Amino acid sequence: MQNDSNFTFVLFGGTGDLSMRKILPALFEAHRGGMLAEGGKIVAVARAAEDRDAYLDWVNEHVKPHVSKNGVDDAVWKGFLARFVYVRLDLGKPEDFKLLRDAVNELGGTRVFYLATGPSLFVPICRALADVGLNENARIVLEKPLGYDLKSSKAINDAVGEIFAEEQIYRIDHYLGKEPVQNLLALRFGNALFEPLWRREWVESIQITIAEELGVEARGDFYDNTGALRDMVQNHLLQLLSIVTMEPPHSMDSDSVRDEKLRVLRALKPVDPRDISKVAVRGQYHAGVIKGTSVPAYATEKGVRPDSHTETFVALKVEIENWRWAGVPFFLRTGKRLADRTAEIVVNFRPVPHSALGGTALRAGANRLVIRLQPNETIRLYCLAKQPGEGMNLASVHLDLAFDKFFKEGQMEAYQRLLLDVINGRLALFVRRDEQEAAWRYVEPILDEWAASQKPPKPYASGTWGPAAASAMLAQHGTCWLEEEN
């Protein structure tokens, strides 16, 4: 369905990796699906290309391969390229921002400024936009990471907040745009079946995993100063946790949803520095083999210090101190160079208190809900059923909601949904400042203790599921990670 809202989408970092792999392919899919206003324009801002023709050559070479999996109609691609305006811009030259102002003012429509740049450039770009009057009637999209810690995050938010109002600021977390995350809200709040069970009396534990097969690739310089806790836990994992555990909002408007997420983040049990070794595991990948291919150790990657203590793996035990979730352990895990690429939420329900059918019905994990975010997006409910034949023998069976099989419409990629939300002024799936700062407050004691201890991360071989200590942490609670049970 075409959106009638005309727009001018200004993309800073127009030749960067994020623009190439995610942002421009997402805009193309929205264009191909007829979801963009006919007069909407994309203003690419960069220094690399000399002019518009050179930039379109770059788009053809670098972006088109990321959108051509199902073939690209030449006429559709030509129509997409017709949306582009290119402004060559040096951030250190105020006169270049005047050229940008002239281009944007000529195009009209809703103004969206997407900063696909490093966070150190957020404030200079925002100030330069304000200097030429481009901060009014505009929306600004900020990519993660927003700062290095709570102090730097506040500094960026304070500076950007002097230029743009909070309702103009879209802090993006692409996991919130994934279809199964949206369906989690529908599952909980649209059905009478699950919500009565979604509490401490019926849930034994919950696991949230984001695992990657890839290493740091060409991001060694960035990653070695960031680490998995800042890169993944402070944003993606804590946002997923808040979605899973929040109270029902009174509506799906932006502040109602974000108010409930904030209540969860503020209810996280603070981590006592003396207990960090019991509730937090950090690791670093060593050389190993992933699906038949040998891969190097983290310390030998380009841009990484040979004596680096930066973590590439984190596992946490988290508790929520509120009426619904008190006493339920939440296990969060993320890492690079793990055995498989997957992102999933596992809700383990408590076994029945007494079984007349035998011990299988009392087994932990007999009833569980697995919400798979990637690579294939599914929701699977496990329960027990009688095996055919003589006797009352139970076996685990599952009910599947595989979106690609059930719905004929193709799924919308996370970035596509979020970019359309920005253009249409919908804030619900973006992170509010108070949410972000609550998440920083939770992780900072862990970061500080790791920095003070000077202990190296626990080693794990690439192609495994991380350090053994992560499994031991769950074993103390009588449970295990899902792949270990299988």
The 3-state secondary structure of 357-393, one letter per residue: CCHHHHCCCCCEEEEEEECCCEEEEEEEEECCCCCCC
Q: Which residue has 């959108």 as its token pair?
A: 67
22 is in an annotated binding site: no
Q: Which residue has 């509730």 as its token pair?
A: 279
- Burial class of residue 414, CB neighbours in 10 A (0-12, 13-18, 19+): buried
Closest CA to 446 of 264, 265, 273: 273
Q: What is the DSSP letter of 63?
A: I
Catalytic residue among 31, 62, 66, 236: 236
Query: Is the bond into 124 cis (omega within 30 degrees of 0)?
Result: no
Alpha-carbon separation of residue 76 from 35, 72, 115 (angstroms): 13, 7, 26
Distance CA 466, CA 369 (A): 23
386 is in an annotated binding site: no
Q: What is the DSSP letter of 229?
A: I
Query: Is the bond into 375 cis (omega within 30 degrees of 0)?
Result: yes
Neighbouring residues of 223: CB distance < 8 A, sequence distance ≥ 6: 216, 231, 303, 304, 310, 312
Q: What is the torsion angle, in degrees rounded to the nearest 10, for the CA atoms of residue 262, residue 266, residue 268 and residue 270?
A: 150
Sheet (strand 203-211) strand order = 394-402, 378-386, 368-374, 342-349, 203-211, 330-335, 313-318, 280-286, 458-461
174 is in an annotated binding site: yes
Q: Reduced to 3 states, what is the DSSP secondary structure of residue 289?
A: strand
236: annotated active-site residue? yes
Question: Are the beta carbons of 142 and 115 closer than 8 angstroms?
Answer: yes
90 is in an annotated binding site: yes
Is beta strand 203-211 parallel, antiparallel or unpaired with respect to 342-349?
antiparallel
Closest CA to 85 of 39, 117, 131: 39
212 is in an annotated binding site: yes
Strand partners, 52: none
336 is in an annotated binding site: yes
Question: Are the beta carbons of 466 and 280 closer than 8 angstroms?
Answer: no
178 is in an annotated binding site: yes
Residue 114 in tokens: 């997407």
Q: What is the torsion angle, in degrees rounded to the nearest 10, for the CA atoms of residue 425, residue 189, residue 1 and residue 104?
A: 10
User: How many CA atoms, within 13 angstroms, populate the side-chain half-sphere of residue 297?
Assistant: 16
- Annotated binding site for NADP(+), which residues? 47, 90-91, 144
Which residues sit in the known binding site? 47, 90-91, 144, 174, 178, 212, 231, 336
Binding-site sequence positions for substrate: 174, 178, 212, 231, 336
By annotation, the residues acting in catalysis are 236
